Structure 1
């Protein structure tokens, strides 16, 4: 069933991002520095928590995924001006 779902999503993602390779990386759940926030959302879904910091020349967002405890979150993704620049996996 998952293979059918992936096949249905692959073509629209390939057209959206202009590359079958990027579509495959998104569908496999991979994350990399340089991917856009939109690609990350297409790959991992909406984050559990977002913290935004506004600076003079850039906007930094920290997206958190996966609740690890009542008040703890894991998978910290750092996004500057809409592009992933770093991440931490607990």
Structure 2
């Protein structure tokens, strides 16, 4: 049996063949996986399309509900746009911005104050806060 030196041309040829074989295997695996990735991308696109359609349908249903409830298209447009204003009711705030992440409550002498906190950006930090006195909006921070 013939022994080969470490840097010999035979060893270099064997290493080159093994590298080409590894590259060919990697290419084969990638080609086999390609249809499965394409199916996954199609499913993701399909899921996004369905989620968007579902959100649009829910928004349409929300608009119908608000119109039946308030019978005022200007008010409904403002709620659907996510607007808030002074003296807005608690119910309108929830319909406009949704449920808060956290609610802070304080009982004062003449009123009950709630601070609704939205969009947590850190420990004890929120991007938006709305203050309500006796269930009416009295101020907010963005």
Give your verdict on TM over 0.5: yes
Distance in 2 (alpha carbons) for counterparts of 1:10 and 1:78: 26
Distance in 1 (alpha carbons) for counterparts of 2:104 and 2:131: 10
**TM-score normalised over the length of structure 1:** 0.86
Distance in 2 (alpha carbons) for counterparts of 1:13 and 1:70: 35
Question: 1:55 — aligned with what?
Answer: 108
Question: 2:23 — aligned with what?
Answer: none
RCO higher in structure (CA 8 A, sep ≥6): 1
Larger Cα-atom Rg: 2
Which structure has greater helix proportion? 2
Question: What residue ranges of structure 2 are gaps of 5+ in the alignment?
Answer: 1-52
Farther off after superposition, 65-74 or 38-47:
65-74
Question: What residue ranges of structure 1 are gaps of 5+ in the alignment?
Answer: none
**TM-score normalised over the length of structure 2:** 0.57
Superposition RMSD in Å: 1.5
Which structure has greater strand proportion? 1
Shift of 1:3: 4.3
